[in-house]
Structure 1
């Protein structure tokens, strides 16, 4: 599985060795990490990815991805799936950016790319959630076409579902 390239980003499928380095907080000699990378969320996602790989093998394309800026190749966050599609064709996603990269539209661009990838691999529904006080993350999901589907005392839930007649916009356009 190769990189997904958007207008400003490279969405890079994480390998086991890259995930191990994220968990350890030790970039390899070729990695370019933004100063605040990896965040706690990146480490948690890398651990989940490593656990999945150990239990059932590499889940690509439904694994973890590193978000890199094209202009400087620095890793600024992550985006990915919590696992492969279920029997109904549904997946759950997560994403996050280092604080210095927030507010620039990168999360929206990365999530659009991930939705395009999911749709291309037969996914019919993508779900996500955000804490009530994480208004920025809620805006990201709304910006890519996800709609609120409910909430509990901690989070709001979002999803986007497609039929064969539904099209999504290529993030490179």
Structure 2
């Protein structure tokens, strides 16, 4: 989901099940500036979300935190009610624990997924404005680091500068 949405990890970890618009493959997130913006995902996330929401009895979670920690919190460290899943009693997965899990099981950094998504969009010659829209960067200079055209793209654009052949 982090890769397909190109969202900040904290935004995705803050999602609740009831925030998901599964039909349209999107969810509202609160951005760094505090505005509510939409993130969109594709088939990989759409395929995995039902598995993430499934409960042992075959039903699905309908509300509460989307990403959960492995166990229930001990009473001394119990988070506030919005950060506890009403179906399982497990707490919302925190940034630090998500970072450790992703590094341990995939050898990846949480923020690296956002950068990889933006870089792959740049490699695919997606216009800067669309990369900015997807990543929700406000400053073009920040998003420019992802747009590094390769030799093939430069050769292709050079064709525009070639003299036109006369047609009779």
TM-score (norm. length: structure 1): 0.25
Flag the structure with higher helix content. 2
TM-score (norm. length: structure 2): 0.26
Flag the structure with higher strand content. 1
Bigger Rg, structure 1 or 2:
2
